[in-house]
Amino acid sequence: MPTVPTSRAARWGALALLVRPTYIAAEFVTAAATTGGYSFVADSVSRLGEVGCSAAYCSPRHEVMNGSFIGFGMLMAGGALLLARPLGPWVTGLLVVSGASSVATGLAPLDQDATLHAIAATPLFFAQPMALIVLGARIRREQPRLGSALLATGAVTAAAAVGFVLTPEGTASGALERLALWPVLFGLAGFAWTQRRR
C-alpha cells in the first residue's frame, strides 16, 4: 500500500513536538544561576520561575524558565493542532489543554500568586498522561511497540503526578514532578518522529 505523503502542516507539527525535549535544557540553565541552593530532587520546577529574590533563594534567570513554560506550551498546542488527524480529536484536545496550561503557568509565577499558579498548572498533570494513554491505545494495532511504550509512559507519568500532588515540598517532590513531565516530552517526540514521512 503506498505511503500517503505528509502535509506541510503535519511536518511542522511533528517538528514542534520533536524539539520539545530541549525544554529540559532550560531547567538546567535556569537552575545553574540560582543562589541559595536548588535541588532537582526536592524542589519544584516552579521555583525556578519565581520572580522575587531573598537572601535565602533567588532565581535570576526566571525569565528563561517562565518563557520556556510559555514557548514550549505553545509548541505542544500548536503541534497537536497541526497533527490533529493522526492524533485524533481526544488526544488533540488533551494536548491543547496541556499546552494552554503550560502557557498559563508561565504567566503566573509561583511567588506572585500561589493559588493562581496552582490553578494554571493543574490541568497539565492530568491531561498529559491521559493524552499518552489514549494515543497509545489508538495506535497500538498499527504501531505495537510505540503504542505500548506510550501506554506505559502514560501510566508512569500519571502515578508520578499523583505522587507529586501528595508529596510535601522539600522531600522528593521535585523528582516526582519531573517524572510526571519529562517522559511526556520524549513520548510525544517518538510519535512525532513516526509522522515525518507517513
**Model pLDDT for residues 52-81, shown as the tens digit of each residue:** 998 899 999 999 999 999 999 999 999 999
- Residue 35 dihedral angles phi and psi, to the nearest 5°: -120, 150
Sorted by where each begins, the domain ranges of the chain are: 8-194
pLDDT tens for residues 134-177? 999 999 999 999 999 999 999 999 999 999 988 877 789 999 99
Residue 5 has what pLDDT? Answer: 46
Question: For cell 508520578, what's the residue?
Answer: 160
pLDDT at 21 over 60: yes
pLDDT digits (tens, 9 = 90+) for 24-56: 999 999 999 999 989 999 999 999 999 999 889
pLDDT for 198 beyond 70: no
Q: Mean per-residue pLDDT for 92-104?
A: 98
